Amino acid sequence: MSRIGKKPIPIVSGVKVNSSSVEGGTRIAVEGPKGKLDFDFRDEVSIAVEDDKVVVTRSDDEAFSRSYHGTARSLLANMVQGVSEGFTRKLEIIGVGYNAQVQGKKLVLQIGFCHPVEMAIPQGLELEAPSPTNITITGVDKQLVGEFAAVVRRVRPPEPYKGKGIRYENEQVKLKAGKAFTSGE
């Protein structure tokens, strides 16, 4: 059995987990103090909501069912954690004159281009810029938080010579040595 898949998911206080049957699988709805999420799981796994835990079991021992077992359990655990605690991703902007501002429903980046880059903030995410060189992305959906952080980073990834650009907090960028001047003798 999957080591991850067989672990029960504890339901913290204030979180409600409901399951309903849909065509081709099971729909799980998780509601908590931070928000609510729902997801349709395939038929290869069955999800049982017991007293204060959720147990994920697989229907057979096929290769796909075994691999989907751990994935389904991880997705469900992330849903429970998201509605109870939420997820946060922090970005740093490095470079002279580079900065970020949140203006209404847009993120405005000044990052060395001749024009500011404006990005619409997706529904379900909260952005704040505590300082001009830091961006904090929070939300209940781990996939949405991580994907938007990757999209923002992709606008100006850190370059390998000076390290200028947008990077995740505590990301290590390996810097390359520049051209070395040597005499032609």
Task: At 152, list the tokens.
Answer: 């923002």
Q: How many domains does the chain have?
A: 2
Distance of alpha carbon 11 from alpha carbon 79, whole angstroms: 11
Instruction: Please give the pLDDT value at position 155.
Output: 95
pTM of the full structure: 0.88
Q: Are 94 and 156 part of one and the same domain?
A: yes
What pLDDT, on the 0 to 100 scale, is given for residue 32? Answer: 93
Angle 100-164-118 from CA coordinates, rounded to 5°: 30
Query: Do 95 and 69 share a domain, yes or no?
Result: no
Tell me, yes or no, whether 75 and 15 share the same domain.
yes
Residue 184 is assigned to a structural domain of this protein: no
73 and 104 belong to one structural domain: no
**pLDDT of 185 over the 90 cut:** no
Listed residues 55, 84, 113: the one ending a domain: 84
CA distances, 185 to each of 105, 115, 180, 182 (Å): 61, 46, 15, 9
Q: 65 with 94, same domain?
A: no
Same-domain pairing of 93 and 158: yes
Tracing tokens 């949405």 back to the chain, one arrives at 144
- In the predicted model, is pLDDT for residue 1 greater than 60? no
Beta bridge partners of 12: none
Q: How crowded is the C-beta side of 42, counted as CA atoms within 13 Å?
A: 13
**22 falls within a domain:** yes
For residues 34 and 91, state if they share a domain.
no
**Which of 136, 4, 144 has the alpha carbon at shortest distance from 79?**
144
Looking at 84, 101, 129, which one is the last position of a domain?
84
**In-domain check, residue 124:** yes
pLDDT for 159 equals: 92
Within a domain: residue 93?
yes
Q: Do 138 and 76 belong together in one domain?
A: no
For the stretch 94-124, pLDDT in tens is 999 999 999 999 999 999 999 999 999 999 9
**Other CB atoms within 10 A of residue 32 CB:** 23
Q: Are residues 16 and 80 in the same domain?
A: yes
Q: Is residue 178 part of a domain?
A: no
Q: Are 23 and 37 in a shared domain?
A: yes
180 within a domain of the structure (yes/no): no
- Residue 40 has, within 13 A of its CA and on its CB side, a CA count of 5
Look up the domain containing 62 and give its range: 9-84
The reply to whether 107 and 140 lie within a common domain is: yes
> Which tens digits make up the pLDDT trace of 17-46?
998 888 888 899 999 999 999 999 998 898
* C-alpha to C-alpha distances, 160 to 59, 153, 156, nearest whole angstrom: 49, 15, 12
Asked whether residue 183 is assigned to any structural domain, the reply reads no
Domain containing residue 106: CATH number: 3.90.930.12
Residue 183's CB is within 10 A of a number of other CB atoms, namely 4
Judgement on whether residues 137 and 163 belong to the same structural domain of the protein: yes
38 part of a folded domain = yes
